[in-house]
Amino acid sequence: MIPAFDLSLQYKQLKSEIGAALNSVLDGGEFILGPAVKNLEKSLAAYCECSHAVGVASGTDALRVGMAALGIGPGDEVITTAFTFVATANTISHCGGKPVFIDVEPGSFNLNPALVEKAVTPRTKAILVVHLYGQPAGMDEILAIAKRRRLLVIEDCAQALGARYRARRVGSLGDIGCLSFYPTKNLGAYGDAGMVVTNRPEIAEKVDILRRQGSPKKYHADRLGFNSRLDSLQAAILNVKFSHLEAWNARRRAIASHYSRLLQGLPLTTPVEVPDTVHVYHQYTIRTAQRDGLASHLQAAGIGTMIYYPVALHQQELYQSLGYAAGSLPVTEKLCREVVSLPMYPELTEVQVEEVAKAIAGFFKK
């Protein structure tokens, strides 16, 4: 049995360290925005090559509170991808804005920069890029358009913590970077947690105030805020795990290149690494027209797979009112039919990777 992911292996390795970190928070008695949170913010700001990092309650809140801090509001259009998790877009809606979906590139699975400019209108306020599966989007082109058209750039780094684009860390390229520490992410808590990273001090300050009910001074609200604070116990767990992140990401990359080597020559498409980027393989996602058959074959062989994402956002019930017809985002729609993600976690062994590859080869030999 090889599951699509397995969180228990990491916990077994770190059990005593995590126990000690939790006890120290419990002994210290500071449960909200205490020293453990400050510590994590400091580590992640430095890691993401940003001057500031502000912990919030989830990756979704990093997007929602971050966009509120950037002033995205009613009537604003935000250009983004439909080939992503729903939180990328519903947070735009929560701010009162309107997601404008454009198609992706088949190779990188990310926003197609060539389509961005055509989607810009007088109401466009921002471009929200997602570095899907851990692969950086084409930021040079996107940043150039944003500069020319005076748009904000938001990076959804929920799947890409540690990835690099032309030597720069994702999250440091746009106006804000939004991190998620959902348990299965490359740096995962044991509950919900998230963070906004930025090189704009005034935006960091706004996120800090907004996450605390819009109160710069306790019990004095000067704007509409949220309760979105990062939990100290989760921060303590993340501080322990953070010291392993680089090694884990390196291991993910090694597993990915092993998979790609073993799958060569089969009638499927392995992930493309965009030149001059570091992909951190939150997912190792292949494409094949026989996706459903392959997934059932692997399941029968005791190998777990996941489909991210079976339905694109423009085709979700939620966004029917936006009026996108079937076929309006052809690449996105094709990917939804063809992608399948293989087991990917740092503890996966070489023997297991070989077993997965062998089962895939077996399917195509039939």
Ligand X SMILES: *Cc1c(COP(=O)(O)O)cnc(C)c1O
Where along the sequence are the contacts to ligand X (CB under 6 A)?
58-60, 84-85, 87-88, 130, 156, 158-159, 180, 182, 192, 194
Of the candidates 253, 244, 62, 277, which has an alpha carbon nearest to the alpha carbon of residue 168?
Answer: 277
Retrieve residue 200's tokens: 């704009």
User: What is the smallest separation between the CB atom of 346 and ligand X, expressed in angstroms?
Assistant: 18
Retrieve residue 176's tokens: 């804000």
Compare residues 180 and 232 and give the one whose CB is closer to ligand X: 180
CB 101 within 8 Å of CB 80? yes
User: What is the smallest separation between the CB atom of 131 and ligand X, expressed in angstroms?
Assistant: 8
Rounded to whole angstroms, the Cα distance separating 329 from 162 reads 29
User: What is the smallest separation between the CB atom of 88 and ligand X, expressed in angstroms?
Assistant: 5
Going by DSSP bridges, is the β-strand pair 194-198/52-56 parallel, antiparallel, or unpaired? antiparallel
Compare residues 180 and 198 and give the one whose CB is closer to ligand X: 180
User: What is the smallest separation between the CB atom of 194 and ligand X, expressed in angstroms?
Assistant: 5
Rounded to whole angstroms, the Cα distance separating 60 from 182 reads 10
Compare residues 146 and 161 and give the one whose CB is closer to ligand X: 161
User: What is the smallest separation between the CB atom of 308 and ligand X, expressed in angstroms?
Assistant: 8
Read off the amino acid at residue 284.
Y
Closest chain position to ligand X (CB): 59
> What's the CA dihedral at 44, 105, 66, 161 to 10 degrees?
-10
User: What is the smallest separation between the CB atom of 172 and ligand X, expressed in angstroms?
Assistant: 18
Compare residues 191 and 216 and give the one whose CB is closer to ligand X: 191
User: What is the smallest separation between the CB atom of 182 and ligand X, expressed in angstroms?
Assistant: 4
Going by DSSP bridges, is the β-strand pair 164-165/152-156 parallel, antiparallel, or unpaired? unpaired
Compare residues 159 and 199 and give the one whose CB is closer to ligand X: 159
Kindly report each contact of residues 113-118 with a partner whose C-beta sits within 8 Å and lies 24 or more positions away, as own/partner: 113/137, 113/138, 113/141, 113/142, 113/145, 114/141, 116/79, 116/141, 116/142, 116/145, 117/145, 117/149
Compare residues 189 and 268 and give the one whose CB is closer to ligand X: 189
User: What is the smallest separation between the CB atom of 55 and ligand X, expressed in angstroms?
Assistant: 12
Compare residues 84 and 315 and give the one whose CB is closer to ligand X: 84
Compare residues 164 and 258 and give the one whose CB is closer to ligand X: 164
The secondary structure of the chain in percent helix, strand, coil, rounded to multiples of 5, reads 45, 15, 40
Rounded to whole angstroms, the Cα distance separating 221 from 86 reads 31
